[in-house]
Amino acid sequence: MIRGMFLKMVLWFWASLVLVALALSTVEIAGWLPGLLIFWLKPWIDRSLLFVLSRAVFGEETHFADLWRARRSVWWGSLLHTLTMRRLSPWRSFTQPAWQLEGQHGSALRRRRAQLLRGKKGAALLMHTAFVHIEAILFFSLFVLALWFMPDPNGRRSVIELMTEHMPPLLTSLAYAAVVLLVEPFYVAAGFAMYLNRRVELEAWDIEQEFRRAFAA
């Protein structure tokens, strides 16, 4: 089982690494640009992982050929909305399966999203906030670790000073990319688990209502 999950993560990692490499290549344009691109394109990175996880739920193995065959829906479907209107949604990982896996669009998607979020906005927001803090803590921890190994006779160098004045922009972007690639699988998996749990609740509720109507009749 562990080996199977490792192989799934390797598939997602290589698919995401291409995007990260392209983002890092823009460091010559502006030092801050790679980090911004990686941050903004995280929903696109999440798509491949969600595809792998959705197949794993049903015991299906995923190979690169499977991802490539589904590239139109996984990588390019509703891409503009993903990177604009949905990008800063605090419930992104929770509601993403509704349009990527269920194929909902338009008014049907809005109704489905509202149904999923009913009574669950707080939990989804807390989960999202927790991962935001985890990502930030890990990112700044890398620079704190670097400070420990750098000689500083005056003892006045700060993490912010290290990042802005002493660390090449490429290394800062690499550090952020490494943190994203480490944290993002857990973020997507947590949102997907919440989505599956919500579906169980909703479908079980529907069955209960059918029984109530049947016995009432």
Please check the confidence at residue 135 and state whether its pLDDT lies above 90. Answer: yes
Please check the confidence at residue 136 and state whether its pLDDT lies above 90. Answer: yes
What mean pLDDT do residues 181-200 have? 91
pLDDT the model gives residue 177: 92
- Which tokens in the block code for residue 36? 């911004």
pLDDT the model gives residue 131: 95
Q: What does the pLDDT look like over 72-81, one tens digit per residue?
A: 888 887 788 8
CB crowding 120-142: b at 16 or more within 10 Å, else e: beeebeebbeebeeebeebbeeb
8-state DSSP, 24? H
Distance CA 150, CA 131 (A): 29
Strand runs (DSSP E) across 15-67, as ranges?
Answer: none
Specify whether the CB–CB gap between 83 and 39 falls below 8 A.
no
User: Structure pTM?
Assistant: 0.83
Q: What is the pLDDT confidence band of residue 1, given thresholds at 50, 70 and 90?
A: very low
Q: What does the pLDDT look like over 70-124, one tens digit per residue?
A: 888 888 877 888 888 888 888 889 988 888 888 777 888 888 888 899 889 999 9
Which position has the higher pLDDT, 152 or 137? 137
Distance CA 47, CA 75 (A): 7
pLDDT the model gives residue 123: 92
pLDDT the model gives residue 3: 47
